[in-house]
Structure 1
Amino acid sequence: MNDPRTDAGELAAYGYRQELKRTLSPWAVFAIGFATISPVVGIYAVVQLGFVFAGPAWIWAVVVAALGQLLVATVYAELSSQFPMTGGVYQWVRRLGGPRLGWLTGWIYLASAIASLTTVAYLGASWLHMLFSDGALSPAAHVLLGVVFIAVALGINLLGVNPVKHFLNAGIIAEGVASLAISVILLVFVRNNGFGILFETLGAENASGGSVLAGFLTCLAVAGWAFLGFDATTQVAEETERPRRSVPRALLRAYLFVAFTVLLTGAAVTLSLRRPGDAVAGETADPVFAAVTQGLGDWSAKPFVLLVLIAFVACAISIQTYIGRAVFAFARDRQLPFSRTLATVGARQIPYVSLIATAALAALGLLLGLNGNAAATLISFGSGGFYFVFLTVAVVALTARLRGRWNPAAGQLRLGGTGLVINVLAVVWLLFEAVNIAWPRAQLAPVGGSWVQVWAVILVFSVLFALGLVYVAVAKPHTKLAGNPAQEEVKVP
């Protein structure tokens, strides 16, 4: 019999055996969270689009998104402090909002997470190409390099937890040099613009019909991508030592460190760029790369590309790590087709089948890249799904809190009345940002795209939600759970 005072004993109180290897230290959990949110991946994914739609003032959209997501991260930290189980949002919503809603939330979460892996691989493929070639990258070659990117990240994950930790540590070092060190150098020695430029648009509103507000909202929709992934720490709770304490702390520390780094890098690039108007006009394809090479010299190009590439690989590894665990948690509860196979844990005590399956699906998503530049579309897909999940979790947590079904004080992170205020503000923020991201915008669709591509986010997730409802109605996965989770006691074992 498991001692309830141990990590395995607490897990057994929720009906699960200790199958995964519990070897992650607080630092390792922080590394997973940091690498998944990734300031490098976040900033390079949104900076070009930010300049195009809001000009140098794009940085304020990042500030708003960072503050809004900090509210959400705090709610997640409270939940993770009380439910130290792999599965994260699926487990929380299942227990606080009922098994059907838990399944639907987990379903959208998995689709969004796989889309985020596809996005990181697609963006990372560009840097992989830049390391070896200065020529143009065709859509077919872009997709192929993206597949290579995913295959490498999968191979490292299949080696086990310890190799993953080493690669993530390398990623953090690369991120520190590529973001913090270079940003400080740019701010101190290579500043070409005064601080007043941070309040200018330089005509970027022309891309939004002349409306500064419309351009800012479009930029804010894209900026939301920079602050996804902090929940990765919750997916490795069953592999973490003292998860009630370690997971929420790692989540918040990783988020705050990344948010600071993203804002510092964004400001440094904007202030040091020699011709910011070229970035607004779209003539500077990569403002960050331009700012670094202009400021440090052409010699810095390849070393900088290598640092960024390492950060992208670390991000892909981390995303695969948490997606594999999320699928494992779903399959362990017999919530998916082929659940018995997907829940298989290998000799290295990792859910290797889930890792392989999700990598294959992410690679299929790269086919979107055959239609020219798919970055904006992929970012919208990933962001749209995640913000729907964020909103669902925040609403369920608030409802359970107000109805007395959830007592946050039972966890180790105790915010008292402040937690309720934060929860309410998080719901307000997410209602706004979810609508803002899903809003159909022609400027975020591929050039010359049809109405289907303009409405792609709403259409795709509507179809996914409808498929989920059909599956719940036909397969009735909630009846396969042990007991009735909707009636479980929501308290610490």
Structure 2
Amino acid sequence: MDDPRTDAGDLAEYGYQQELKRTLSAWAVFAIGFATISPVVGIYAVVQLGFVFAGPAWIGAVVVAFLGQLLVATVYAELSSQFPITGGVYQWVRRLGGPRLGWLVGWIYLASAVASLTTVAYLGATWLHMLVSDEALSPVTHVLLGVVFVAAALGINLLGVNPVKHFLNAGIVAEGVASIAVSLILLLFARHNGFGILFDTLGAESASGGSVAAGFLTCLAVAGWAFLGFDATTQVAEETEQPRRSVPRALLRAYLFVAFTVLLTAFAVTLALPHPEEAVSGKIVDPVFAAVTEGLGAWSEKPFIVVVLIAFFACAISIQTYIGRAVYAFARDRQLPFSRRLATVGPRQIPWVSLVVTAVLAGLGLVLGLNGNAAATLIAFGSGGFYFIFLAVAVVALLARLNGRWNPSAGEFRLGRTGLLINVLAVAWLLFEAVNIAWPRTELAPAGGSWVQVWAVVLVFSALFVVGLAYVVIAKPHRQLPLGPVTGKATSEATRAASEEATEEVEAS
């Protein structure tokens, strides 16, 4: 018989049956988190923009983003220990902040997650093209290669959990080679610049109207992309052994290991780049590739591309994995149109319909790439949505702590009084960074872009919020929710009574 505080018995307290296959170890959950955050995808995506806006001093923005997101990851670790349910932020917010807010946060989260898959596929397509051709990459070819990425990630996921684990392990090895090993070689044997250059902009502020502060803030808005994805570990809680213990630990370990790798790579590339001023001017389009091939020699070009590609594919696979689970969790609660179909679990015990639908949506998002270089726009979309979600979750968690609705000491990962201070600091950081990312900047829009493209992040997510709010008002999905405890503590008669009373109030409204 299941222990009522673990695994299937624990899940039953929330009103759910064990449908997904619970075969993920702590290491497998770590691999999902590591592959999703991905130091290769994170740093290689932002390094060019970092140089353009802040020069070699861009590393300062990376350090600030790391420290700020560490606060957020810690809050998420406490929540994941208390609520070991697939659905992550959607489940947490609906239990601590109410079903309507939970739906809206979950809706924006799904849109942001799909955008992140689109972004990774778009960025990875560049490396795929570099492997097979030296010619210029046209917008149409770029989009088609991005579709290849999305299709490959879907195909691996449809094979089941075990193949996913193997590919993610390969991704970790590739990340280790492409980031840690190469970075150490560059630092030890191919360093061209002294440490003083890390505080020099080399005139990059000219891209921001001559303001060093404006350039740094733009760089910080982009650098936030490097520290997304640690919440992927929470989406596989129902497939994890001892999730209250394993998930928060895997989340923090993945985040810290990735952060170390990102910072190491950032320092190595900046110090090894022979002509950093050319990266600032845009003459060097890919500072990482330039630093590696010049530091190791021309022979390293193709092997390095292959290793980076493996890391990109692993990241896409991992993102596809957790998006599918997020949609499944939403649909299982009958919160989406066609929920019964989206919640289908196939013979391999995976939510295959949700996986297919999210892959199609991510593929459609690649159409943005037809408008020339869309990297900055896609990164802004992906970062913007996630930082708004981070902020909503942190605020809800803080209010729930203060009004007694949430008692973090009931989880296995506990920070005590320190948790409250960390939560307050996380809210302050996220308020700043969310506004910073959403701030309209012509330098992050495509060249010659209209005001619509400059305000794209604000406009798109405002539209998503309005659509979501309209759906909540008209369809009233909160009335379809199953009964379950609110706080995540062991079920008692009082808890059940409170939950039933809360549901009756919702239905009456």
> Normalization by structure 2: what TM-score?
0.96
Counterpart for residue 184 of structure 1: 184
Aligned residues: 491
8 Å contact kept, 2:96–2:487: no
- Would the aligned equivalents of 2:87 and 2:235 in 1 still touch at CA under 8 Å? yes
Corresponding residue number in structure 1 for 2:323: 323
- 2:32 pairs with 1:46: no
* Counterparts of residues 167-246 of structure 1 (less than 5 Å): 167-246=167-246
What's 1:160 paired with? Answer: 160
Answer yes or no: is the 8 Å Cα contact 2:406–2:487 preserved in 1.
no
Q: Which amino acid aligns with 2:486?
A: E
- Please name the residue that 1:313 is paired with: 313
- 1:366 paired residue number: 366
Cα distance in 2 for partners of 1:297, 1:215 equals 33
Which of 483, 489, 504 matches 1:491?
A: 489
Alignment of 1:324-339 (within 5 A): 324-339=324-339
- Equivalent position amino acid for 1:455 in 2: W
Q: Per-residue displacement from partner, 1:131-158 (whole Å, max 9, x unpaired)?
A: 1111111000000000011001100000
Q: Equivalent residue for 1:287?
A: 287
3-state DSSP of counterpart to 2:153: helix
Q: Is this contact kept in 2: 1:142–1:369, CA < 8 A?
A: yes
1:282-332 Cα offsets, whole Å, 9 max, x none, are: 010000000000000000000000000000000000000000000000000
Paired amino acid for 2:154: L
The answer on whether the counterparts of 1:19 and 1:349 sit within 8 Å (CA) in structure 2 is yes
Find the counterpart in structure 1 of residue 427 from structure 2.
Answer: 427
Residue matched to 2:27: 27
Q: Does 1:110 align with 2:110?
A: yes
C-alpha separation in 2, matches of 1:488 and 1:138:
52
Tell me the CA shift for residue 492 of structure 1. 4.1
Q: Are 2:400 and 1:400 equivalent residues in the alignment? A: yes
* CA-to-aligned-CA distance 1:188-219 (integer Å, 9 cap, x gap): 00000000000000000000000000000000
Contact persistence 2:83–2:488 (CA under 8 A): no
Residues 247 and 279 of structure 1, relative CA distance in 2, 3 Å threshold: same
Aligned-residue offset at 1:3: 3.9
Q: Which residue of 2 aligns with 1:138?
A: 138
Equivalent in the alignment of 1:381: 381
Unaligned runs of 5+ in 2: 492-509
Residue 94 of structure 1 aligns with which residue? 94
In structure 2, C-alpha distance between the alignment counterparts of 1:358 and 1:7, rounded to whole Å: 27
| Code of the aligned partner of 1:457 | V
Contact 1:183-1:265 within 8 A present in 2 as well? yes
> How far apart are the structure 2 equivalents of 1:56 and 1:225?
18
4+ aligned runs moved over 4 Å, structure 1: none
Looking at structure 2, the residues matched to 59 and 180 of structure 1 have their Cα atoms a distance apart, in angstroms, of: 17
Find the residue that maps to 1:349 and give its secondary structure.
Answer: coil
CA offset at residue 482 of structure 1? 2.0
Distance (whole Å) between structure 1 residues aligned to residue 490 and residue 443 of structure 2: 48
What is the CA–CA distance in structure 1 between the aligned matches of 2:486 and 2:395, rounded to whole Å?
19
RMSD: 0.9
Q: CA deviation at 1:374?
A: 0.2
What is the deviation of 1:6? 3.5
- The answer for unaligned runs of 5 or more in structure 1 is none
Q: Give, as a single letter, the amino acid of the residue that structure 1 aligns with 2:51.
A: F
Instruction: Give the percent of matched residue pairs that are identical in Structure 1 and Structure 2.
Output: 82
Structure 2 residue matching 1:236: 3-state secondary structure: helix
- What are the Cα deviations for residues 45-76 of structure 1, in whole angstroms up to 9, with x where unaligned? 10000000000000000000000000000000
Displacement after TM superposition at 1:5 (Å): 3.8
Partners of 1:349 and 1:414 in 2: CA distance: 32
TM-score, structure 1 as length reference: 0.99
Find the aligned partners of 2:396 and 2:404 in 1 and give their Cα distance.
12
Distance 2:59 2:371 in 1: 29
Q: Residues 118 and 363 of structure 2 are in contact (CA less than 8 Å); yes or no, is this contact kept in structure 1?
A: yes
Q: Which amino acid aligns with 1:441?
A: R
Shift of 1:488: 2.8
| Distance in structure 2 (CA, Å) of the matches to 1:263 and 1:3 | 42
